Chain A
Amino acid sequence: QKEVEQDPGPLSVPEGAIVSLNCTYSNSAFQYFMWYRQYSRKGPELLMYTYSSGNKEDGRFTAQVDKSSKYISLFIRDSQPSDSATYLCAMDNEYGNKLVFGAGTILRVKS
């Protein structure tokens, strides 16, 4: 079993839809939870960052962490074609030296 599981998709939605992306994990030592966005032929870039449990909102994006269930989510409201990308969840322990990535979910937002 992988440490971090993420459905690869692709997930195809119409413009304006609410998108839900999820990851599950098995390592209870993870304390930092991140979402990276990767456009085609580019390196990943940090989108959202959360420490421990709870929610974090940034514009149209909301990240949720449920440590009791070992489950994290990224919600995108009013999705746009420019949101089409691969979204990777990532997690790290308290020492910040072992970033582990999910396989990434391909998202396609159709106009």
Chain B
Amino acid sequence: EAQVTQNPRYLITVTGKKLTVTCSQNMNHEYMSWYRQDPGLGLRQIYYSMNVEVTDKGDVPEGYKVSRKEKRNFPLILESPSPNQTSLYFCASSAQNEAFFGQGTRLTVV
């Protein structure tokens, strides 16, 4: 079954404590991306990756890092989380303009 798997699904953390949200896909897609979803703002792209070791900023990259060492994995790193990064995060894997989304990670930074 084609899947994008994110972990964890829910996370509450404190300001400044580094965290990583993992994302893995089993469709052999080259293109992967991270989005955050906030009420009234829809999905906004944080970072994307066209292939292994190729990453680029999306629309809201500040405060985030990514890496793409393997084709299937695309982790999202928050080095020093702040309350304004409280949001619902989605990883997506794409081919031919069709994006497959993970189940989402609800992050709360207190």
Contact = CB atoms under 8 A, between A and B. Distances in A.
A90 to B, nearest CB: 8
B41 interface: yes
A51 B102 CA distance: 25
A97 interface: yes
Interface string A4-34: 1010100000000000000000000000101
Please classify the interface of chain B as helix (H, G, I), strand (E, B), loop, or mixed, using the class held by over half of its residues.
Answer: strand
Contacts of A100: 45
Given A88-B43, A102-B42, A103-B40, A45 B97 contact: no
Nearest to B96: A96
A25 to B, nearest CB: 13
Contacts of B4: 43
Nearest to B58: A98
Contact of A103 (B31, B35, B41, B48): B41
Given A42-B104, A43-B103, A46-B99, A8 B40 contact: yes
Contact of A99 (B40, B99, B102): B99
Interface string B24-64: 00000001010100001111110010100000000000000
Contacts of A32: 97
Interface string A81-102: 0000000101010001111111
Contact of B42 (A41, A98, A104): A104
Q: Which 3 A-B pairs have the closest CB atoms?
A: A43-B101, A103-B42, A101-B43
20 contacts: A32-B97, A34-B98, A43-B104, A44-B101, A46-B98, A49-B97, A49-B98, A88-B43, A96-B94, A97-B31, A97-B48, A97-B50, A99-B97, A100-B45, A101-B43, A101-B44, A102-B42, A103-B40, A103-B41, A103-B42
Given A43-B102, A44-B43, 14 more contacts: A4-B42, A6-B42, A43-B90, A43-B104, A44-B99, A45-B101, A46-B100, A92-B97, A96-B97, A97-B50, A98-B45, A99-B94, A100-B45, A102-B42
